[in-house]
């Protein structure tokens, strides 16, 4: 992980993971990470209800294979990975049809029109409009704190392909937010995965 | 490192700074500016990602899940309906006893009858339900055809040695065994009788079993008359 996970309460629980109350500790650990997981899932699924389903299913899976978790410090990355896979599985299972957010999304009525908050709202909207192939590595990197190599491993891509997707994601965000184009006018050609 | 390579590395991960990239940035103002811009964008991205997306996604992407939920809802309605039907079909006879008592309480004047009922009235109350009863009409002080649990049933009050006793002849209710009850100051019993059952209630309750036993011999479930319009 490039970004270190929150030091508390994870590290505190980690000291107790092998204790007699391991079950309670893991439950507390999972619960402490749930808001993070839900936020992560929402950015992937773009729907709170679906995200809640994903997190619920992911936590069930995590609980069943909790013996695989050797240290609490690794729990966040481990759970985020399970959430991502659950999200991918959901789309595979339900065959959810992807549609363009240009057609499907509505900007919230209360979105500020201008100012710093307005720009932030526009940025959120722009992130939502990103195709999943660009949004997913970006969410993994910025929200999940995964390194390029970890993202590449998770998405079964080369590191260069991940960098290319991330580059393009940022390029699109700049374009969608109405900022200036890249100095050289374009994104690099995508490397084969 | 070329500018293309530098920008791919910067755009892919602005926070990462290898020695090779650092060296390139020292000599390339364009890429350095690009990195500064990407770092600003990333700072904004981190703030944007802090809150979950506040957006409503409509249309086809959501439809399959909604359909799935609709099926789940429909299934739960079916299960609930089957459960309710099951509960209704398997309802305990205690409920039947309670309903009998409630019905009798709804006709308090029936206990106060002091005159014999005409043979025609008795005949009407019984034949409306397709029931024959071999009982001395002099004993019957009240006879009415009452709507009870979806059917017309004879509601009779018989004068006995222990005082008035209410009788409901329930051809559509089936009890497996004698079911005594005591409720609202009334003591009673429901007994199986052929294909139906008989409910007998008294204020005192000393003679309900005796009367119920007699009535079991005297009642005849005749072919049910066609429903009247």
Same domain, A85 and A177: no
- B contacts of A119 (beta carbons < 8 Å): 44
Same domain, A72 and A142: no
**The pLDDT value given to residue A91:** 73
Whether residue B57 and residue A139 make contact (CB cut-off 8 A), yes or no, is: no
| Confidence tier at A1 by pLDDT (50, 70, 90) | low
Q: C-alpha angle with apex A24: A20 to A25, nearest 5 degrees?
A: 80
Instruction: Identify the CA nearest to A84 among candidates A155, A32, A161.
Output: A155
- pLDDT tens by residue, A57-95: 899 888 888 888 877 788 888 899 999 998 888 876 655
Q: Give me Rg for the CA atoms of chain A.
A: 18
Residue showing tokens 């995200």: A51
Domains in chain B with CATH codes:
3-50 (no CATH), 93-221 (3.40.1000)
Whether residue A174 and residue B33 make contact (CB cut-off 8 A), yes or no, is: no
Q: How far apart are alpha carbons A138 and A122 in whole angstroms?
A: 17
A162: domain CATH number is 1.10.10.10
Would the pLDDT of B194 be above 80?
yes
Whether residue B60 and residue A97 make contact (CB cut-off 8 A), yes or no, is: yes
- pLDDT tens by residue, B108-143: 888 887 788 888 888 888 988 888 888 877 889 999
Would the pLDDT of A11 be above 50?
no
Q: Are strands B179-183 and B186-193 parallel, antiparallel or unpaired?
A: antiparallel
Same domain, A48 and A130: no
Measure CB to CB from residue B11 to each of A97, A111, A166 and give the nearest one: A166
Q: Are strands B163-170 and B196-202 parallel, antiparallel or unpaired?
A: antiparallel
Query: Does A132 contact B at CB distance below 8 Å?
Result: no
Instruction: Identify the CA nearest to B166 among candidates B187, B151, B183.
Output: B187
Whether residue A46 and residue B51 make contact (CB cut-off 8 A), yes or no, is: no
Same domain, A40 and A107: no
Would the pLDDT of B219 be above 80?
yes
Residue in chain B nearest A173 by alpha carbon: B41
Same domain, A35 and A8: yes
Residue A188, domain extent: 101-193
Specify the DSSP element, H or E, that contains B193: strand B186-193
Instruction: Identify the CA nearest to A10 among candidates A75, A57, A62.
Output: A75
- A contacts of B64 (beta carbons < 8 Å): 94-97
Would the pLDDT of B6 be above 60?
yes
Cβ pair A166, A138 in contact under 8 A:
yes
Residue to test with chain B: of A176, A188, A189, A190, most B Cβ within 10 A:
A188
Whole-model pTM: value is 0.50
Mean pLDDT along residues B47-60: 64
The ipTM value here is: 0.72
Query: Does A125 contact B at CB distance below 8 Å?
Result: yes
**The pLDDT value given to residue A116:** 57
State how far residue B1 is from chain A, nearest Cα, in angstroms.
15
Cβ pair A71, A14 in contact under 8 A:
yes
Query: Does A48 contact B at CB distance below 8 Å?
Result: yes
Same domain, A129 and A171: yes
| Confidence tier at B166 by pLDDT (50, 70, 90) | very high
Asked whether the bond before A9 is cis by omega within 30 degrees of 0, the reply is yes
**The pLDDT value given to residue A14:** 45
Would the pLDDT of B65 be above 90?
no
Q: How far, in whole angstroms, is CA B69 from its chain's centroid?
A: 22
Residue showing tokens 């206990």: B111
**The pLDDT value given to residue A19:** 54
Q: How far apart are the first and last CA of chain A?
A: 22
Whether residue A106 and residue B61 make contact (CB cut-off 8 A), yes or no, is: no
Residue B131: other Cβ atoms inside 10 A: 21
Q: What is the mean pLDDT of chain A?
A: 74
Q: C-alpha angle with apex A39: A38 to A41, nearest 5 degrees?
A: 65
Same domain, A73 and A56: yes
Count of structural domains within chain A: 2
- Largest Cα–Cα distance in chain B? 123
Residues of B engaging A, defined by a Cβ cutoff of 8 Å = 3-4, 7-9, 11-16, 30, 33-34, 38, 41-42, 44-65, 68
Q: Which of A58, A73, A97 is the last residue of a domain?
A: A97
Whether residue B55 and residue A167 make contact (CB cut-off 8 A), yes or no, is: no
Supply the DSSP symbol for A67: G
Cβ pair B119, B142 in contact under 8 A:
no
Would the pLDDT of A12 be above 60?
no
- A contacts of B14 (beta carbons < 8 Å): 170
Q: Give me Rg for the CA atoms of chain B.
A: 41
Q: Which of A97, A118, A149 is the last residue of a domain?
A: A97
């Amino acid at each position: 992980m490039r970004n270190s996970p929150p030091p508390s309460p994870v590290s505190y629980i980690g000291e107790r993971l092998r204790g007699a109350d391991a079950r309670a500790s893991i439950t507390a650990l999972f619960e402490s990470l749930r808001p993070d997981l839900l936020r992560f899932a929402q950015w992937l699924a773009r729907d709170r209800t679906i995200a809640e389903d994903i997190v619920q299913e992911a936590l069930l899976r995590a609980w069943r294979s909790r013996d695989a978790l050797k240290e609490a410090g690794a729990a966040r990355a481990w759970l985020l990975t399970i959430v991502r896979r659950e999200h991918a599985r959901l789309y595979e299972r339900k065959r959810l049809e992807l549609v363009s957010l240009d057609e499907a999304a509505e900007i919230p009525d209360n979105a500020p029109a201008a100012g710093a908050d307005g720009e932030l709202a526009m940025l959120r909207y722009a992130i939502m409009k990103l195709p999943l192939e660009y949004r997913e590595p970006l969410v993994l990197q910025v929200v999940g704190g995964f390194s390029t190599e970890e993202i590449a491993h998770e998405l079964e891509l080369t590191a260069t392909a991940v960098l290319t997707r991330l580059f393009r994601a940022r390029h699109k965000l700049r374009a969608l937010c109405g900022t200036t184009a890249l100095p050289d006018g374009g994104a690099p050609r995508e490397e084969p995965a | 490192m070329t500018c293309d390579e530098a920008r791919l590395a910067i755009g892919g991960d602005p926070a990462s700074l290898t020695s090779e990239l650092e060296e390139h940035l020292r000599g390339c103002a364009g890429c350095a500016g690009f990195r500064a811009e990407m770092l600003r964008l990333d700072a904004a991205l981190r703030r944007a990602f802090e809150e979950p997306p506040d957006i409503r996604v409509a249309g086809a992407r959501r439809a399959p899940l909604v359909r799935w939920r609709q099926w789940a809802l429909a299934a739960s309605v079916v299960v609930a309906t089957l459960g309710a039907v099951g509960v209704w079909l398997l309802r305990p006879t205690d409920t039947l006893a309670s309903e009998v008592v409630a019905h009798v309480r709804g006709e308090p004047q029936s206990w106060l009858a002091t005159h014999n009922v005409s043979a025609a009235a008795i005949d009407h109350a019984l034949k409306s339900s397709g029931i024959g009863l071999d009982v001395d009409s002099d004993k019957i002080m009240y006879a009415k055809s009452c709507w009870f649990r979806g059917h017309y049933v004879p509601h009779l009050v018989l004068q006995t040695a222990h005082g008035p006793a209410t009788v409901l002849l329930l051809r559509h209710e089936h009890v497996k065994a004698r079911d005594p009850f005591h409720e609202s100051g009334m003591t009673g019993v429901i007994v199986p009788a052929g294909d139906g059952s008989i409910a007998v209630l008294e204020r005192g309750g000393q003679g309900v079993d005796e009367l119920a036993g007699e009535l079991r011999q005297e009642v005849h479930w005749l072919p049910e008359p066609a429903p009247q319009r």
